[in-house]
Chain A
Amino acid sequence: MLDQSDSYVTEDGRTIGGVVMEMKNITLRFGGVVAIKDISFDIREGEIRAIIGPNGAGKSSMLNVISGFYVPQEGEVFFRGKPRPQMRPYEVAQQGIARTFQNIALFEGMSVLDNVMTGRLNHMKAGLFQQALWKGKAEKEETENRELVEKVIDFLEIQHIRKTPVGRLPYGLKKRVELARALAAEPKLLLLDEPMAGMNVEEKEDMSRFILDVNDEFGTTIALIEHDMGVVMDLSDRVVVMDYGKKIGDGTPDEVRNNQAVIDAYLGVAHD
């Protein structure tokens, strides 16, 4: 069970629960390059947690550690209070962690609907044989899962492209489809790797609204990486700031905004 003793309610009425995931003294090296150096922070249930930092700060590596894709050389990841063993990606997914990618990773030739359906894969029990023959559990399962997928499609307002092959969609919509696929897995923890990279203002506003709505509507805990400071400060409950693989700030957007180390990292100071 999660320790809920220090849960609190935010100004806008959401309940932020106990710590679901904790990073303790994480160090990640690629050969001689130190990508992450002794970083510790936690993610609480129901919050929107952002990781920001200049290019090459180690943000994506951090997200990959959280998602279990990279295994740190030092330090430990605690999930729901227990140290997390090394896991395969599908085992991570089974734990209720879903993610989107910085470079969109969808099946280009498949329709939006089919792409989103793949997000339900972990929830389908029917075997290959049953699926192929459309017998036994397969039919009922498909109907149930399709229903859930349709709700996600409705939620993200992508009904008009339901049957369109993903390859034909513009960039902003592909990002939304990727979010849809992650949501279809009904994750407890959603990891978003630069959800707004390369978007125009309007698309960013839409995406921000969807992220807030997902958090609000499903109570999904969200960890995101983002470059756009304005967006991050508006969306997040708490922010971790990284620079050159080190954590230089951690706190609410206001605290971070006034942190001298953060200001230096973003505005740039002479490095001796």
Chain B
Amino acid sequence: MAQMQSGAAGKLSLPALLERNVSEFGDRPAYREKEFGIWQCWTWAETAKEIEALALGLINLGVNEGDFIAIIGGNRPYLYWAMVAAQSVGAIPVPLYQDANAEEMAYVLDHCGARFVIAADQEQVDKVIEVQDQLHQFEHLIYLDPRGLRKYDHRTLHEYAHVQNQGRAAYDEWIPELKARRAKLTYDSTCVMLYTSGTTGKPKGVVLSNRNIVESAKNACEFDNLKQTDEILAYLPMAWVGDFIFSIGQAYWAGFCVNCPESPETMMTDLREIGPSYYFAPPRVFETQLTNVMIRMEDAGNLKRKMFHHFMAHAKKVGPSILDGKPVGMMDRLKYALGNVLVYGPLKDTLGFGNVRVGYTAGEAIGPEIFEFYRSLGINLKQLYGQTEATVFITVQPDGEVRADTVGVPAPDVEIRIADNGEIFYRSPGTFVEYYKNPESTADTKDPEGWVATGDAGFFEENTGHLRIIDRAKDVGKMADGSMFAPKFVENKLKFYPDILEAVLFGNEKDRCVAFINIDLSAVGNWAERNNIAYASYQELAGHPKVLASIQEHVSEVNKSVAADPMLSGCQVHRFVVLHKELDADDGEMTRTRKVRRRIVEDKFADIIAALYDGSGEISTTTEVTYEDGRKGAISATLTIKDADLVSSAQHRVAAE
């Protein structure tokens, strides 16, 4: 480590870290991308050359210090380079969600006043062109993939490779300028601006300095002992702070290799081929993978299926203890070893987790059963708690102290304070600088001493010092009888069932709770196929009586488990409805990171909620939907409302005794 910190100048910014990586291990792989069926590789030295060419090209195009450069597209090395190239010339990169529609993009591009946009392909270029008239500061658009763009008006449109070529051609002219600009970067200059997805209201631009990024990356690398030899797969949205810290911050600090998949559809194959040693995913990815495993096991032969279930039961019993280094009996260990040969090992390979040394899940609470499933296989999956404003890290779970119901201890250099109302506050080197052009929100969130309000409610466990999150402070409420209402708690239990994709619980200030359910099309579709149930659409499948019956069973099961918690037994689901459409970010019902926007869902489906409470047996409703290309349509449906079995808490207590 001493060597790494040797040049104090080496820590000031990402371009400076790049320089350090080139001089210390320039011939190690920095990026890989699968293209034309082959993994293409760039070393740190080659990466630096590419970034330099682009940076010179940007200066040549007229990028000034302090300009904002929006970057839109999937995970590709070229776009990661674009971020660092932007920083090198003193500009500020602003990555955008590639699946955002044109209007959402217009808001962000206008808010930051981006003069330049670097877009991946025709799809993104089209969106920017669609809204460019609303953008007063917008000047040039650089695109990566020329396909389909040949006929476009090229007055303000430039191909990425051409910009680089122009940069190389103008090397002598601009290199002094580039060097001068790089030298001006300090620990306090802005590294990146990331827009929060915002479960409420318009997105806010979170300004993060080099200090935020580099310190957070450094601490996290040291915490998990990440090295040059580690490998990650970059597949999460580039606009998300997690991807920025893992695929850029930590990659530059530790010098490990970032692998980019061939296309979003090939993600699983690429994951298997790369076998990353450090892996990060939001709970939904783990849920989907588990669902896929379960579906495939249902389709497997009898022997395989029995073997799978037998050994998984054993893994559930002893796997987590073995992983945590707790004492486990000889026979159990032997059986686990056998299971590893027959089931766990092959399964981990198939999932692409064969080499995972450290895995994290964050973004939302993960269902304990899902979490335990991966841990029992021997995958060191841990939880962390963080947010964009903290440059990810607030708390993390140290090795050996991993539990499903806590989010760990404060990350290195992070101070945490719990307010009287239970809200969590933190202060750290990663604490964001400000919300761009929004001093009121900045003042609301961050006090003059640097304490930031998370908006989440939680408490420290007395004996372990681990933080437990109850829910979004805003979402936690009270039922009419005064008992606590914590929707996430129940929703996560529901979502554990493979055929339930999403659940939304209502009941704040009401006397009982009701729920919306989204079925998982792949799981339920597979089940329908095996049982010869024909269906033509999502809507039809979601309304099938047999599907409703099985969901009803799940809800009743969940009620039993909810009743077991004395504090939350009031949150049992009395009635529920299986929605006729999937909640979707395009309709504004979810954020781009796929968190449910509770208030919007509540307003949009007010008629269904009313029906859930007034006792009617079905409800006819019409919902507006937005297609991917921005067109709107409407779907109408008559939904059946189902009752679920309830467990009275008193009764349950008697039964437990």
Contact = CB atoms under 8 A, between A and B. Distances in A.
Interface stretch (B133-141, B145-153, B165-173): B145-153
Contact of A160 (B148, B150, B265): B265
A209 B629 CA distance: 14
Interface in A138-175: 146-147, 150-151, 153-155, 157, 159-160, 162
B317 to A, nearest CB: 37
Contacts of B151: 12-14, 216
A154 B148 contact: no
Contact of B37 (A162, A209, A212, A216): A162
B441 interface: no
A217 B148 CA distance: 7
A213 B263 contact: no
B147 A157 contact: no
Contacts of B266: 159-160
B150 A154 contact: no
Contact of A217 (B35, B36, B147, B262): B147
Contact of A157 (B37, B150, B263): B263
Nearest to B148: A213
Contact of A209 (B35, B148, B262): B148
B269 interface: yes
A56 B351 CA distance: 51
A151 B36 contact: yes
B539 to A, nearest CB: 15
A147 B36 contact: yes
Given A213-B147, A217-B147, A154 B35 contact: yes
A216 to B, nearest CB: 6
A217 B122 CA distance: 13
A204 B297 CA distance: 34
Contacts of A155: 147
Contacts of B38: 150
Contacts of A216: 148, 150-151
Interface residues of B, number: 13
A147 B37 CA distance: 9
Interface string B588-601: 00000000000000
B197 to A, nearest CB: 26
Interface in A10-24: 12-14
Contact of A150 (B36, B148, B150): B36
Interface in B10-55: 35-38
Contacts of B148: 209, 212-213, 216-217
Nearest to A154: B36
Interface in B256-289: 262-263, 265-266, 269
Contacts of B35: 154
Contacts of A213: 147-148
B37 A160 contact: no
A230 to B, nearest CB: 15
Nearest to A161: B265
Nearest to B123: A209
Interface in A192-231: 209, 212-213, 216-217
Interface in B441-463: none
A85 B150 CA distance: 38
B535 to A, nearest CB: 15
A183 B151 CA distance: 22
Nearest to B150: A216
A213 B266 CA distance: 22
B350 to A, nearest CB: 15
Contact of A153 (B37, B147, B150, B269): B37
Contacts of A157: 263
A216 B35 CA distance: 22
A213 B38 CA distance: 24
Interface string B89-108: 00000000000000000000
B36 A160 contact: no
A150 B147 CA distance: 16
Contacts of A153: 36-37
Contacts of A154: 35-36
Contacts of B147: 155, 213, 217
B37 to A, nearest CB: 5
A14 B262 CA distance: 31
A146 B36 CA distance: 9
A150 to B, nearest CB: 4
Given A150-B36, A151-B36, A159 B150 contact: no
Interface string B233-265: 000000000000000000000000000001101
B296 to A, nearest CB: 14
User: Taking each of A12, A159, A162, A209, which has the highest tally of chain B beta carbons within 10 Å of its own beta carbon?
Assistant: A159
A18 B118 CA distance: 39
A150 B265 contact: no
Contacts of A159: 37, 262-263, 265-266
A157 B123 CA distance: 14
A218 to B, nearest CB: 11
Given A12-B151, A155-B147, A150 B37 contact: yes
A126 to B, nearest CB: 21
Nearest to A213: B148
Contacts of A209: 148
Most buried by A among B37, B147, B150, B269: B37
A80 B38 CA distance: 39
A217 B146 CA distance: 9
Nearest to B36: A150
Contacts of A217: 147-148, 150
A155 B146 CA distance: 12
A147 B40 CA distance: 14
A217 B145 CA distance: 12
A4 B36 CA distance: 36
A151 B147 CA distance: 12
Contacts of A14: 151
Contacts of B269: 160
A153 B38 CA distance: 13
A114 B445 CA distance: 58
A14 B148 CA distance: 12
A201 to B, nearest CB: 9
B8 to A, nearest CB: 45
A162 B35 CA distance: 13
Contacts of A162: 37
Contacts of B36: 147, 150-151, 153-154
Contacts of A212: 148
A160 B147 CA distance: 20
Nearest to B37: A150
B462 to A, nearest CB: 50
A155 B269 CA distance: 19
A153 B266 CA distance: 13
B532 to A, nearest CB: 19
Nearest to B266: A160
Contacts of A146: 37
Contacts of B263: 157, 159-160
A204 B150 CA distance: 22
Nearest to A14: B151
Interface string B140-166: 000000011011000000000000000
Given A151-B36, A216-B148, 20 more contacts: A13-B150, A13-B151, A14-B151, A147-B36, A150-B38, A153-B36, A153-B37, A154-B36, A157-B263, A159-B262, A159-B263, A159-B265, A160-B262, A160-B263, A160-B265, A160-B269, A209-B148, A212-B148, A213-B148, A216-B151
5 contacts: A13-B150, A150-B36, A154-B36, A213-B147, A213-B148
Lowest 5 CB-CB distances: which A-B pairs, in order?
Answer: A160-B265, A150-B36, A13-B151, A160-B266, A150-B37
